[in-house]
């Protein structure tokens, strides 16, 4: 199949390129905009209590005042508010309401702070559009108008609240995306220039992946709208890294194979056909493992992760198709000039560095396995200190943003939980009016819960069947203490509800409590499913029952090491209260999927060396010698591109960028290079049970130079070579041996990464 694809795109490169351009223009021109939602409650299904409470509020108290934005006033000299200042606050509040800004339904004065230094304007917006871009636009207009109205007074006014946070998060995300995009391009450009010393080859993937990125974003927007998925602005930043990082890897796989075939004497167009034939199945299998891991997120209960899974899967799928069609078509038109002005593509330098590493693994596999394993175990110890934080707003933007300044000042000036109180809704089970005489006792029981500052009855619906009790917590809504407190409030609200009534608890702390439960559900569901699916892929590729178990276990250990290191750096080192709650799920899928990819490459090369008649230890050493450059190059580029996310300037992307890049580095430079080959060498032939994948096969003489041995690694000798044809001894120090055009080169450039992966 892949040879047919290669023939088609190389024989008709212009039509292939035109087809891609037409698809890009059509999709970009017609695709809807990718929606963004910062409303945490929209990430949860309706079965959770906080969502039931929100629906009950809409039904029982449709006109209830719930501020979406809060204007915080303070004197410019920092002193106490005067009567004139209070008059200015009342005037600004009234004039803001009179401007009839879109989405704004009502503006009312809020209570002054206890120290008399702050005053508030509470702004109610259309609850149906909570978290949507419309309200971010409304917050922008409110912020501008409030500052204009405060001119000529002694007041400094700042806008906070959920709508203002959505606006600041949107602006921060745009800045972060720009920094990530620039950083990614610079890293890829410099790395490719160092590897190939060819400017055309360095810029080409950036241009082609840019086209792929436009198509992928359009298809993601279509899928998001078609399946009514939730989106978050952080997805765009992740997509940039995935598209350019993974896309560059696939580009490298193809170009290294193309260069290999040119060195073997193939005519340029035939070299590209052979490259696609040999590397196509490898790229497809690598992409398949990543896509399956991403699609496992569909099982998540959180809307954000449900949308992220298909989005990333679409991005990798489009990149895969481009790697098999668009890139070969463009390169076949340019021909060997793509390597200009470098001449290194014509010869095959030695690779002494990885040969030395290979000898070390061959001589002391047990020591290598124990040493690398202890490093992973030591880093994994940090997992014991892991804590989650649920404040998406402060986690997705710097503390200097205006809405974050308002949030911090309100915490200090007002009760920590006053900005986002918890609501307990007591409803009649039989449709009869509730007994008001029980309300005082019920409120006292709620107020007596540990961690509650106050509780009081606030309102009842017209039918008298639903009552609202406002519970103010001692701690800010997104803190661990507040989430623990709301759990106790739920227990008390349910247990102490009067006869004939039932209670549901709503508010932001209740939402975070449910998000915590949903994430724990995802840990128990998504993790095992992704692991099982990846193990199935490993079993099919390697035709072994034993190898997939220790391969997935080693990747799992790498995940633990990555999470542990992230905990130590951000929680212990930088004093973060916790890591963003979705980080372990995202990290698990990236580290496990991509870490398994590198493991496949290394163990596939090890199997190839074993098929040439080598014993397990020697095969492990030779595998590291020849597949090591691939792992090093691919791991460096992908880790470096994910590291650019730390430039975004917010906790969420900084933590995510570090964790994923560190995890990929661990997968490439610890697991794939040392732990996996040394462990396979120790297990020996049993690693391939029940098959005999490491045993030499019968002669396959007569293979055409243009054919690719099934299952051959990108830079490996043909998988089916007879033991008599293969070199009986290939000492790590010997000079490069020149092979016939039908055989793969034995030597590697020190900077060269083999272009494909065995399937």
Token pair of 339 as six digits: 């390597």
The answer on pLDDT for 42 being more than 70 is no
pLDDT tens, residue by residue, 292-333: 888 888 888 877 777 778 888 898 999 999 989 999 999 999
Decide the pairing of beta strands 501-506 and 422-428: antiparallel
Which residues of 136-178 form beta strands (DSSP E)? 155-160
pLDDT of residue 732: 35
pLDDT at 231: 56
pLDDT greater than 70 at residue 41: no
DSSP states of 17-75: HHHHHHHHHHHHHHPPPPP----GGGGS-TTSHHHHHHHHHHHH-TT---EEEEEEEEE
With a CB cutoff of 8 Å and minimum separation 6, the contacts of 641 are 184, 187, 188, 241, 244, 245, 248, 661
| Separation CA 115–CA 109 (nearest Å) | 17
State which H helix or E strand residue 300 sits in: none
pLDDT value of position 736: 37
* Element containing residue 212 per DSSP (H, E): helix 199-226
Give the per-residue pLDDT at 492. 94
What value does the mean pLDDT take over residues 343-362? 73
| Pairwise CA distance, residues 239 & 223, whole Å | 15
Q: In what side-by-side order are the strands of the sheet with 501-506?
A: 452-460, 466-473, 422-428, 501-506
Q: Which residue has the tokens 């939402």?
A: 511
Share of the chain above pLDDT 70, in %: 83
Among the ranges 352-366, 505-519, 570-584, 647-661, which has the highest mean pLDDT value? 505-519
> Parallel, antiparallel, or unpaired: how do β-strands 579-580 and 422-428 relate?
unpaired
Provide the β-strand partners of residue 158. Answer: 72
| Residue carrying structure tokens 């029981």 | 445
First vs last Cα of the chain: how many Å apart? 14
In this prediction, residue 408 carries a pLDDT of 80
Task: Give CA 148 to chain center in angstroms.
Answer: 40
Give the pair of three-digit tokens for residue 654. Answer: 């900084």
Residue 349 has what pLDDT? Answer: 57
| Residue 641, Cβ density class (10 Å: 0-12 exposed, 13-18 middle, ≥19 buried) | buried
Query: Residue 650's pLDDT is what?
Result: 67
- Produce one character per residue of 458-489: b if its CB has 16 or more CB atoms within 10 Å, e if not: eebbeeebbbbbbbbbbbbbbbbbbbbbbbeb
Average pLDDT score over residue span 442-465: 91
pLDDT at 230: 57
Weakest-pLDDT range from 107-121, 163-177, 452-466:
163-177
Among 409, 460, 471, smallest CA distance to 435 is for 460
Question: Span 600-622, mean pLDDT?
Answer: 82
Q: What was the pLDDT predicted at 321?
A: 92
pLDDT at position 548 is 87
Sequence-ordered list of residues with C-beta below 8 angstroms from that of 100, at least 6 positions apart, any chain = none
Q: Alpha-carbon distance 556 to 539, whole Å?
A: 17
pLDDT of residue 525: 87
**Cα–Cα distance list, 328 to 493, 572, 759 (Å):** 65, 48, 20
Average pLDDT over residues 179-188: 79
Which residues are bridge partners to 74 per DSSP? 118, 156
pLDDT tens digits along 575-589: 777 888 878 887 877
Whether the CB-CB separation of 623 and 734 falls below 8 Å is answered with no
Distance, CA of 115 to CA of 78 (rounded, Å):
11
Average pLDDT, integer, range 515-531: 86
Mean pLDDT of all residues belonging to the chain: 80
Can you say how many angstroms the Cα of residue 742 is from the centroid of all Cα atoms in its chain? 42
The H or E element that residue 530 is part of is helix 508-542
Instruction: Give alpha helix (H) positions in 567-699.
Output: 583-611, 616-643, 651-666, 676-683
Angle, helices 199-226/234-263, rounded to nearest 10 degrees: 140
Please report which confidence band the pLDDT of residue 398 belongs to, taking 50, 70 and 90 as the band edges. Answer: low
pLDDT at 77 over 80: yes
Ranges 53-62, 73-82, 365-374, 718-727: which has the least confidence: 718-727
CA atoms lying within 13 Å on the CB side of residue 265: 10
Q: Region 215-224: what's the mean pLDDT?
A: 84
Report the distance separating Cα 650 and Cα 639, nearest Å: 19
> If DSSP codes are grouped into helix, strand and coil, which group holds residue 107?
strand
DSSP 8-state symbol, 699: P
Q: Are 396 and 233 in contact (CB under 8 A)?
A: yes
The mean per-residue pLDDT over the stretch 1-20 comes to 90
Burial status of residue 271 (CB atoms within 10 A of its CB: 0-12, 13-18, 19 or more): buried
Tokens of 740: 């016939």
C-alpha span between 403 and 169 (Å, rounded): 9
Is 503 in contact with 50 (CB distance < 8 Å)?
no
H/E segment holding residue 122: strand 118-125
CA trace torsion 526, 532, 538, 544 (10° rounding): 170
Looking at per-residue confidence, does 757 or 494 come out higher? 494
Whole-number pLDDT of residue 688: 85
pLDDT at 664 exceeding the cut of 60: yes
Q: How much is the pLDDT for 237?
A: 64
Pairwise CA distance, residues 597 & 593, whole Å: 6
- Kindly indicate the confidence band of residue 370, based on its pLDDT and cuts at 50, 70 and 90: very high
684 pLDDT higher than 90: no
Q: What pLDDT shows up at residue 755?
A: 37
Per the CB < 8 A criterion, the answer to whether 363 and 662 are in contact is no
Higher model confidence: residue 531 or residue 179?
531
Residues whose CB is less than 8 angstroms from the CB of residue 522 and which lie 6 or more positions away in sequence, other chains included: 299, 300, 301, 302, 305, 585
pLDDT in tens, 689-727: 886 656 655 433 333 333 333 333 333 333 333 333 333
Higher local confidence (pLDDT), 717 or 487: 487
pLDDT at 395: 54
How far apart are the C-alpha atoms of 194 and 113, rounded to whole Å? 60
Residues 13 and 468: beta-carbon distance below 8 Å: no
pLDDT at 128: 66
pTM score: 0.72
Token pair, residue 583, equals 């980080």
Q: What is the mean pLDDT of residues 88-111?
A: 89
Mean per-residue pLDDT, 550-557: 86
Higher pLDDT, 719 or 430: 430
d(CA 399, CA 307): 27
Reported residue count of the chain is 759
pLDDT value of position 756: 36
**Whether pLDDT at 163 is above 60:** yes
Neighbouring C-alpha atoms within 13 Å toward the C-beta of 118: 23
What is the CA 424 to chain-centroid distance, rounded? 35
pLDDT of residue 489: 95
Q: In this predicted structure, what is the pLDDT of residue 424?
A: 94
**pLDDT recorded at residue 18:** 93
Question: What pLDDT is attached to residue 550?
Answer: 87
Band of residue 86 on the pLDDT scale cut at 50, 70, 90? very high
> What confidence score (pLDDT) does residue 192 get?
83
């Amino acid at each position: 199949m892949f040879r047919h694809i290669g023939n088609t795109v190389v024989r008709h490169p212009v039509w292939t390129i035109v087809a891609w351009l037409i698809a890009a223009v059509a999709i970009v021109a017609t695709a809807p905009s990718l929606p963004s939602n910062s409303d945490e409650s929209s990430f949860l299904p309706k079965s959770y209590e906080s969502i039931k409470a929100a629906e009950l509020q809409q039904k029982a108290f449709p006109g209830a005042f719930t501020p979406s934005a809060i204007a915080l006033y303070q004197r410019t000299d920092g002193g106490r508010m005067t009567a004139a200042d209070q008059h200015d606050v009342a005037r600004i509040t009234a004039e803001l309401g009179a401007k009839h800004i879109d989405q704004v339904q009502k503006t009312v004065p809020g209570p002054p702070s206890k120290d008399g230094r702050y005053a508030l304007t509470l702004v109610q917006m259309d609850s149906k559009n909570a978290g949507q871009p419309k309200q971010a636009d409304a917050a922008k207009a409110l912020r501008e108008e409030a500052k204009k109205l405060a001119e000529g007074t002694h007041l400094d006014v700042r806008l906070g609240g959920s709508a203002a946070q959505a606006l600041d998060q949107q602006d921060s995300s745009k800045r972060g995306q720009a920094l990530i995009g620039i950083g990614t391009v610079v890293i890829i450009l410099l790395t490719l220039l160092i590897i190939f010393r060819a400017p055309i080859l360095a810029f080409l993937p950036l241009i082609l992946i840019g086209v792929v990125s436009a198509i992928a974003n359009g298809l993601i927007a279509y899928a998001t709208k078609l399946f009514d998925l939730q989106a978050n602005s952080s997805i765009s930043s992740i997509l940039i890294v995935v598209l350019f990082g993974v896309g560059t890897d696939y580009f490298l796989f193809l170009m290294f194979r193309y260069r290999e075939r040119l060195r073997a004497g193939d005519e340029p167009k035939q070299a590209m056909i052979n490259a696609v034939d040999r590397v196509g199945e490898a790229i497809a299998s690598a992409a398949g493992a990543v896509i399956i891991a991403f699609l496992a997120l569909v099982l998540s209960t959180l809307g954000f992760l449900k949308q992220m899974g298909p989005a990333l899967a679409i991005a990798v799928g489009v990149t895969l198709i481009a790697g098999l069609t668009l890139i070969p078509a463009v390169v076949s038109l340019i021909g060997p000039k793509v390597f200009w002005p470098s001449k290194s593509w014509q010869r095959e330098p030695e690779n002494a560095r990885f040969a030395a590493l290979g000898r070390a693994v061959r001589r002391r596999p047990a020591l290598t396995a124990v040493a690398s394993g202890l490093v992973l175990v030591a880093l994994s110890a940090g997992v014991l200190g892991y804590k989650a934080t649920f404040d998406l707003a402060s986690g997705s933007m710097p503390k200097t943003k205006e809405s974050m300044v308002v949030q911090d000042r309100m915490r200090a000036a007002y009760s920590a939980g006053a900005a986002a109180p918890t609501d307990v809704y007591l409803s009649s089970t039989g449709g009869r009016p509730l007994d008001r005489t029980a309300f005082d006792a019920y409120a006292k029981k709620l107020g007596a819960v540990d961690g509650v500052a106050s509780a009081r009855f606030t309102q009842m619906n017209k039918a008298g069947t639903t009552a609202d009790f406002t519970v103010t917590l001692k701690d800010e809504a997104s803190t661990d203490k507040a989430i623990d407190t709301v759990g106790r409030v739920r227990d008390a609200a349910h247990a102490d509800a009067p006869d004939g009534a039932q209670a549901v608890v709503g508010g932001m702390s209740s939402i975070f409590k449910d998000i915590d439960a949903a994430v724990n559900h995802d840990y128990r569901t998504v993790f095992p499913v992704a692991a099982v699916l990846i193990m199935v892929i490993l079993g099919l590729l390697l035709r072994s029952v034993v190898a997939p178990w220790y391969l997935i276990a080693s990747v799992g250990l790498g995940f633990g090491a990555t999470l542990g290191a992230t905990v130590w750096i951000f929680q212990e080192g930088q004093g973060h209260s916790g890591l963003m709650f979705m980080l372990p799920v995202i990290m698990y899928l990236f580290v496990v999927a991509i870490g398994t990819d590198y493991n496949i490459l290394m163990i596939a090369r090890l199997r190839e060396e074993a098929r040439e008649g080598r014993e397990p230890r020697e095969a492990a050493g030779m595998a590291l010698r020849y597949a090591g450059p691939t792992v090093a190059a691919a791991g460096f580029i992908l880790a470096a591109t994910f590291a650019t996310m730390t430039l975004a300037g917010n906790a969420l992307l900084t933590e995510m960028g570090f964790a994923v890049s560190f995890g990929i580095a661990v997968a490439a430079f610890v697991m794939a290079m040392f732990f996996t080959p040394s462990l396979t060498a120790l297990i020996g032939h049993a690693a391939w049970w029940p098959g005999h994948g490491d045993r030499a096969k019968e002669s396959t003489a007569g293979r055409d130079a243009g054919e690719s041995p099934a299952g051959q690694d990108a830079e490996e000798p043909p998988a089916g070579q007879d033991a008599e044809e293969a070199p009986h001894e290939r000492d790590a120090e010997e000079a490069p041996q020149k092979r016939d055009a039908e055989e793969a080169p034995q030597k590697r450039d020190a900077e060269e990464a083999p272009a494909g992966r065995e399937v």
